[in-house]
Amino acid sequence: MLADHWCASVDATIQLRTGCNPLEQHGPQAVIVHADAWAPVAAIADPHDIRQVVDYEVIFLAIRKLEQNEHCICLESSILEVMDAIFAMAIVTEAFVSMHKPHVYNGQGTPAISLKLTRAQWQTLNR
């Protein structure tokens, strides 16, 4: 956690078509998503207006949108979609997104992936 920063967090469970592995191509599966977005307190004009801090609804809607996106068939591409929405908010300086599948591989494993980036790192990736 960053000192002197607001953190907006969203936890959601979505149904995602995850087709990276042939064992998973039978249909949508539950995916648990956690996302954090940090914004510096000093950059906020009115800290009583949550929309100026970080609009967590933007994050929630980006996560829910993954269910309708036929191109997000793996956790990696899905995380990048959520990161894109988070960094579209100009106030955000750092973000973290994690996803895991709780019911994959007959209970023998729970695949998970996460990504934490600063705005500068995100801009470098998107050049």
Percent of the chain having pLDDT more than 90? 43
Give residue-wise pLDDT tens across range 61-73: 999 999 887 666 6
**Other C-beta atoms within 10 Å of 23: how many?**
10
Q: CATH code at 67?
A: 3.30.1130.10
Residue 45 DSSP symbol:
S
Question: CA Rg, the chain, in Å?
Answer: 16
- Cα separation, 48 vs 56, in Å, equals 15
- Cα separation, 87 vs 27, in Å, equals 30
Give the model's confidence band at 42: pLDDT under 50 very low, under 70 low, under 90 confident, else very high: confident
What is the domain range of residue 41?
A: 5-125
Give residue-wise pLDDT tens across range 16-31: 876 666 656 667 788 8
Look at residue 76 and tell me whether its pLDDT is greater than 90.
no
User: What length is written for the chain?
Assistant: 127
Number of independent structural domains in the chain: 1
Cβ atoms of 87 and 122 within 8 Å: the answer is: yes
Whole-Å CA distances, 7 to 50, 65, 75, 112:
11, 22, 23, 22
